[in-house]
Amino acid sequence: MKTHILVTNDDGVTAPGLLALAEAVRGLPDVKVSILAPDRNWSGGGHVKTLERPLRVREVTLADGSSAYTSDGAPSDCVALALLGFFEEKIDLVVSGINPMPNLGHDVTYSGTVTAAMEAVIWDTPGIAFSLGSVDNHLGALDYTAAAKVAETVVTRALQHKFGPGMLLNVNIPYLPHEELNGIRITRQGLRVYRDRLDKRVDPRGKPYYWIGGDSPTGTAEEGTDVGALINGYVSITPIQLDLTMYSAIPTIGDWGW
Ligand code: MN
């Protein structure tokens, strides 16, 4: 039986990174590929479950002429739709991306790309998120060729080794030609350094409004981390689980005299 792969993203169904990922997995042997992705950009939208309104799904044609489905829900809603029965055939693997910007360290909780893969984990399905480490404010079209090649390799390995429930892979690929990549590193989450600033402005009616701006985050390029791997030209693969418990704090907080 064919492996049924769902392709989704957080940039919207028409994003070139989604098509690059879909084309990469379509080339694999014995796979059936279905696409269900948001109808708009949800970047930074986090892990969403839309409960207060219904979700609509419609069929669209992508730039290469292939057919895809799009919904007015978040990336995680698209994954839930797919895994809860929108498609008749069971989904065996969810791949999300390719996001144009990296998702490193604490970014994973903001990232629509990564939280789509988190939703897969909730429904006992393996999920892989792919992000490209393109430079800030990149002008013009990005080249997804190298990242798509990496995605093909990662998905092939994941299908061969069948990774277990409760885990997703967060893959970040340096924005380099494929032959200039130094290899693959299995990493832990590194430390992102956020440089957000609150911009307070005044609207035409004299009322204040706020915009979170500032510079793009940097990171601490520590050995063994996703940030470190990417800066040194390596593809970073971080296994992620949804258990956020800080186990080391359980005894300490237990001593608070309950
Ligand atoms: Mn995005």
Q: Where are the domains of the chain?
A: 3-190+221-254
Q: Tell me what pLDDT residue 248 has.
A: 98
Report the side by side order of strands in the sheet with 168-174.
Answer: 57-61, 67-71, 31-38, 3-8, 93-99, 127-133, 168-174, 234-240, 183-186
Give, as residue ranges, everything with CB less than 5 Å from ion ligand 1.
10-11, 43, 99
Three-state secondary structure call for residue 67? strand
| CB crowding 2-23: b at 16 or more within 10 Å, else e | ebbbbbbbbbbbbbbbbbbbbb
Cα(65) to centroid(ligand 1), Å: 23
Task: Give the per-residue pLDDT at 115.
Answer: 98
Distance 86 CA to ligand 1 centre (A): 24
**Rounded to an integer, what distance in angstroms lies between the CA atom of residue 180 and that of residue 184?**
12
Distance (angstroms) between ligand 1 centre and the Cα of 213 equals 17
Q: Alpha-carbon distance 103 to 186, whole Å? A: 15
* Residue 96 CA to ligand 1 centre (angstroms): 10
How distant, in Å, are the alpha carbons of 25, 79, 86 from that of 34?
10, 11, 11
Helix axes 145-161 and 16-26, enclosed angle (nearest 10): 50
131 Cα to the center of ligand 1, angstroms: 8
Expressed in angstroms and rounded, the spacing between residue 111 Cα and the centre of ligand 1 is: 7
* Sequential pLDDT tens for the chain (258 residues): 899 999 999 999 999 999 999 999 999 999 999 999 999 999 999 999 999 999 999 999 999 999 999 999 999 999 999 999 999 999 999 999 999 999 999 999 999 999 999 999 999 999 999 999 998 777 789 999 999 999 999 999 999 998 878 999 999 999 999 999 999 999 999 999 999 999 999 999 999 999 999 998 999 999 999 999 999 999 999 999 999 999 999 999 999 999
- Is the CB of residue 117 less than 8 Å from the CB of residue 169? yes
Query: What pLDDT sits at residue 140?
Result: 82
Q: Is the peptide bond before 98 cis (omega within 30 degrees of 0)?
A: yes
pLDDT in the model for residue 10: 97
Distance from the alpha carbon of residue 258 to the mean position of ligand 1, in angstroms: 44
Given a contact cutoff of 8 angstroms between Cβ atoms, the answer to whether 17 and 141 are in contact is no
- Per-residue pLDDT at 136: 75
Residue 254 CA, ligand 1 centroid: distance in Å: 40
pLDDT computed for residue 158 by the predictor? 96
Distance CA 49, CA 224 (A): 33
State the distance from the centre of ligand 1 to the C-alpha of 42, rounded, in angstroms: 7
Which CA distances in Å does 43 have to 116, 141, 180?
Answer: 11, 18, 28
Half-sphere exposure of 225 (CA within 13 A, CB side): 16
**CATH classification code of 3-190+221-254:** 3.40.1210.10
